[in-house]
């Protein structure tokens, strides 16, 4: 596959909503996606297949002073376990370094072993817990990765 990382904008709204629905059962509303794609302190990167222009994965984050807070990451179910999530996340980490961030933070469901293993492989460490964080009452682990002058 011939892939490219792109900055997502409001023109990608329908694709983001669709990918969210396919991967996380519509975690966010259309309105939330609009905000994510237009607000200046938010970063949305996508991975597209160049021939079809299909959005295969995306990640979004908020820039808060010198920290990047990951808010969403997903890869289309058909393309999972092919390294696309790692490729996308690596580009986000590179991008965050250009913004002089010191840390990347995110939350992950405490019982999501697959996601925890993925983040650990990228150098994230568990730094805390948020009780009853998700709509279903699940707890979230808070993960952190230092970024400034580190890989």
The catalytic site residues sit at 107, 119
DSSP letter assigned to residue 135: T
CA distances 58 to 44, 137, 139, Å, are: 7, 26, 24
β-sheet with 42-49: strand ranges across: 3-7, 42-49, 54-64, 67-75, 103-109, 140-146, 125-130
What is the distance, to the nearest Å, from the Cα of residue 41 to the centroid of all Cα atoms in its chain? 15
The whole-angstrom separation of Cα 56 and Cα 79 is 7
Cβ proximity of 147 and 104 under 8 Å: yes
CA dihedral sign, ordered 63, 137, 31, 10: positive
* Angle, CA of 136, 114 and 142, to the nearest 5°: 60
């Amino acid at each position: 596959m011939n892939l490219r990382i792109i900055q997502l904008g409001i023109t990608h709204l329908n694709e983001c909503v669709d990918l969210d629905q396919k991967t996380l059962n519509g975690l966010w509303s259309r309105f939330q996606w609009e905000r994510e794609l237009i607000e200046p302190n938010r970063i949305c990167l996508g991975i597209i297949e160049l021939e079809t222009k299909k959005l295969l994965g995306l990640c979004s984050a908020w820039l808060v002073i010198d920290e990047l807070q990951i808010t969403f990451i997903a890869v289309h179910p058909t393309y999972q376990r092919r390294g696309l999530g790692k490729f996308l996340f690596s580009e986000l980490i590179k991008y965050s370094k250009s913004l002089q961030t010191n840390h990347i933070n995110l939350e992950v469901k405490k019982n999501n072993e697959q996601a925890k293993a993925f983040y650990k492989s990228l150098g994230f460490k568990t730094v805390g817990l948020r009780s009853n964080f998700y709509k279903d009452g699940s707890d979230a682990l808070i993960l952190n990765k230092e970024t400034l002058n580190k890989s």
